[in-house]
A and B are shown apart, each in its own frame.
Chain A
Amino acid sequence: MDLVESILSIAVFAGTSLIFATVGEILTERAGVLNLGLEGMMIMGAVTGFAAALHSDNAYVGVAVAMAVGASFGLIHALATITLRTDQVVAGLALTLGGTGLASFLGQKLGPGGSPLVGMTGPRFLRVPIPGLSEIPVLGEVLFNKDQLVYAMYILVPLAWWYLFKTRPGLHLRAVGENPQATDALGVNVFKLRYLYTIVGGALAGLAGAHLSLAYTPGWTENLTGGRGWIAIALVIFATWNPGRAVLGALLFGGVNAIQFRLQAEGTTISANLLNMTPYILTVVVLVAVTLFEGFRTRVGAPAALGLPYNREERT
């Protein structure tokens, strides 16, 4: 019982940043823009968020800065892919490569007086048990004895779902990624929406990074995100572009993280290097399983215009 509780508890904790990034990417891809810069945006959010929190001595300032940095990377991606019509795959890769490099550069420079950030400790989000709810056996510890960003995630997921499927702007968002020509003809501004949701996706990726550097593994180390941005992109497929299902996937990965922790804590003889492979192998396995069992449906599930530039007056 205790074991289950601790694994679930870590799963929620570890899954939170994945959920932020995944939900953001779902919104972006629903608008028809593939953002492979997620990893770069996350790691930029992590480093700038931590640095801002350190200098302002306020974790919330860190979150705000991380989201702003993520959003500006989103803006760059939007500018490159929507206005300048570059290949979305390559532009995203460029952002991830550049973002990773920039994060590493800033990590060496953003400490007090231009010193490196590595090894510094700063403000962070601590557990805030919710009175009453946190007393519930098992669930209380798993769900209601967490930091503020985890609680924000509880609100974000149903909100994103409701927004996407039950509101007017959600309807437009789904339409834009599915058939931009049609949506444009009906008077919806395709360019504006694509810009908006690419930026929103970037901001959420920044938030995901901030949760890592301000709560999950407080502080800054090189390669802090460790491919979580890419896992989030795989989770979008797993979730069939539905924010609700993203939670399931993120918890699965969080759970694997948790089990890994437990094994290491209990002094297993398996090398850490081998244990650390599990989330990546799991990503491939999950992706294959989703494609196998729902191959048909997922192809329907993917926004039809995903990855394609839109140009109103282009004649073919």
Chain B
Amino acid sequence: MTDQLPVAVRMEGITKRFPGVLANEDVDLEVRTGEIHALLGENGAGKSTLMSVLCGLYRQDEGAISLLSNGGLRRVDIGSPRHAIELGIGMVHQHFKLVRTQTVAENMIIGMDGVPFRLDMSQVAADIRELGERYDMLVDPTAAIWQLSVGEQQRVEILKVLYRGANTLILDEPTAVLTPQESGQLGSALRAMVAEGKAIVFISHKLDEVISFADRVTVLRQGRNVATLDVGSTNKHELARLMVGRELATGVPKGDRELDQPVLVVDGLEALGDRGLPALRGVDLTAMRGEVVGIAGVAGNGQQELAEAITGLRRITAGKVTVRGVDCTGKTPRQMIEAGVCHVPGDRLGVGLAGNLPVADNLAMKTYRRRPLARGPFLDRKKMGSQAKRMIDEFGVLTPGPATPARNLSGGNQQKAILAREISAGRDFESGAVLVAAYPTRGLDVGAIEAVRARIVAERDRGTAVVLISEDLDELMMLSDRIAVLHGGQVMGVVEPASTTIEEIGLLMAGERRS
């Protein structure tokens, strides 16, 4: 269908190495004008690296890039992001590249050519309004970025790229931060752009999205090309097989749920966010012994604050947290640890690990205070090492040894180490521990994802009350016994996977309370 369209971008034989990592090896990619081209692959398959090469952020070690100019393809050497923009290539990164303290209009013109020395912000604002109307992506040019929702920020990013005259747009996992409905809107905006003859590459690891958005798809695996296909002539199963290299496991078998025995009860919980504004506004939640309660919601609707409030890391302004019948409101993180509340934080290296410290030290974070590791004020480093070896063996953490800095482990093994620590800490609580797991599989490869999910279910089957925060609805549907949907710091509704649909959850995520 798109065969007749001229080629906009051709990347040939691209190789990119990082110290100790081969991120891309001999990769080819061809994108045509007027098409939406999906770049599909697991995390770590090299999608983002390839696109960073195309937008000038990294320089390839080998290979060539050609772009359409004056009706023919011409070899280019993209030396910098600025150069890429000049060549009409613009990238919308997964982590937005916005200056939070500046306005939308200011963000539009940073680094742009042809901006006068003396700024004329009213002209820029008018341009933004016009552009927004053209693609139905309205946003207030005078608002500061930090005042915008995540979806609006994404619009700013896309408008920014268009404003600079990009003909080729690269979008890195654009729907990860959107509700299903917002994703639909984004899809129609992208359609309008390709109808004008632009070329769009979007990076994804979600098969449904690729099928519904793209015209063609290129699949990467372990840094190499696997295939390029017309979306019309393929299907989800084929794509999944190409992406992973084997059939995907469909689910994790779960044991029967135990009888109602509440372990964690959250009642009317309120807390402030980092900016001092209310982030939780009366959350009620109960997790039973041997139950996984999923927390769904668009990022930034109170998930992080909820996890922190339950684990004592964030001050509670109103409401109650009860663990196994004991009121734990306002307890310190240490007291919550001692009450059997385990926590897999969303930010692995930011919160969950001290990256420069050895794995053994990291594995001791919850147990160093008590015997056998501690003796009075002293710490037994030998026992710390043997504890680490035990955990490494049991949980299959791949590391050169307990003395290796945690930073040097792969993401999946860092996560396994955190799980090993938290699950081990929870085992001392026969009557059921609480495990708050925030985005436990984010950024992991498929093998690690399966291992982590299996662990969580095993803990549930052992009697732990699990609170699972995730942005991956498939994961929530697969693992949860019940799903609570957060929006604006409130629970919009609690549904059971067996009797709900993605669409219903989507509506709740968008803030429509269940009647």
Contact = CB atoms under 8 A, between A and B. Distances in A.
A89 interface: no
B99 interface: yes
B58 interface: yes
B110 A183 contact: yes
Nearest to B82: A187
Contacts of B98: 179, 182
Interface string B110-133: 111001111100000000000000
A313 B49 CA distance: 11
A166 B118 contact: yes
B110 A171 contact: yes
Contacts of B118: 166-168
A296 interface: yes
Contacts of B110: 171-172, 175, 182-183, 186, 188
Contacts of A316: 349, 407
Contacts of A186: 81-82, 85, 97, 110-112
A312 to B, nearest CB: 7
A122 B515 CA distance: 86
B276 A312 contact: no
Interface in B28-68: 55, 57-58
A178 interface: yes
Interface string A300-316: 10001000000011011
Contacts of B106: 171, 175
A293 to B, nearest CB: 14
Task: Give the interface SS of chain B, mostly helix, strand, loop or mixed.
Answer: loop
Contact of A178 (B57, B81, B100, B117): B100
A175 B119 CA distance: 15
A185 interface: yes
A304 B101 CA distance: 9
A182 B407 CA distance: 24
Contacts, number: 78
A174 interface: yes
A182 B99 CA distance: 7
Q: Select the residue from A169, A179, A183 with max chain B CB neighbours within 10 A.
A: A179
A184 interface: yes
Nearest to A178: B99
A181 interface: yes
B111 A172 contact: yes
A27 to B, nearest CB: 17
A315 B85 CA distance: 23
Nearest to B160: A186
A178 B100 CA distance: 8
A304 B100 contact: yes
A89 to B, nearest CB: 17
Q: Select the residue from A167, A175, A182 with max chain B CB neighbours within 10 A.
A: A182
A1 B275 CA distance: 46
Interface string B269-300: 00000001000000000000000000000000
B93 interface: yes
Contact of A167 (B21, B85, B117): B117
Interface string A27-62: 000000000000000000000000000000000000
A178 to B, nearest CB: 5
B91 A174 contact: no
A185 B99 contact: no
A167 B117 CA distance: 5
B82 A175 contact: no
Contacts of B349: 316
Contacts of A174: 99, 101-102
Contacts of A182: 96-99, 110
A315 B110 CA distance: 25
A205 B46 CA distance: 47
Interface string A276-316: 00000000000000000000100010001000000011011
A183 B276 contact: no
Given A185-B93, A187-B82, A187-B85, A168 B115 contact: yes
A296 B276 contact: yes
Contacts of B83: 187
Contacts of B117: 167-169
Contact of A185 (B91, B115, B407): B91
A12 B93 CA distance: 49
A187 B100 contact: no
B100 A179 contact: yes
B367 interface: no
B18 A185 contact: no
Nearest to A314: B18
Nearest to A188: B111
B138 interface: no
Given A167-B117, A168-B117, A175-B110, A183 B101 contact: no
Contacts of A171: 102, 106, 109-110, 119
A185 B101 contact: no
Contacts of A166: 118-119
Given A185-B57, A187-B111, A178 B18 contact: no
A184 B276 contact: no
Contacts of A169: 117
A315 B20 CA distance: 11
Interface in A157-200: 166-169, 171-172, 174-175, 178-179, 181-188
Nearest to B18: A315
A171 B111 CA distance: 9
B322 interface: no
Contact of B119 (A167, A187, A304): A167
Contacts of B85: 186-187
Nearest to B101: A178
A172 B101 CA distance: 13
Interface string B245-288: 00000000000000000000000000000001000000000000
A184 B82 CA distance: 8
B80 interface: yes
A296 B82 CA distance: 35
Contact of B18 (A167, A181, A312, A313): A313
A184 B81 contact: yes
Interface string B144-166: 00000000000000000000000
Given A183-B110, A185-B57, 7 more contacts: A166-B119, A168-B115, A179-B98, A182-B96, A185-B91, A187-B81, A315-B18
5 contacts: A167-B117, A175-B110, A181-B97, A186-B111, A296-B276
Interface of A: 166-169, 171-172, 174-175, 178-179, 181-188, 296, 300, 304, 312-313, 315-316
Q: Would you list the 7 A-B pairs with minimal beta carbon distance, nearest first? A: A187-B82, A182-B97, A186-B111, A187-B111, A188-B111, A185-B97, A178-B99
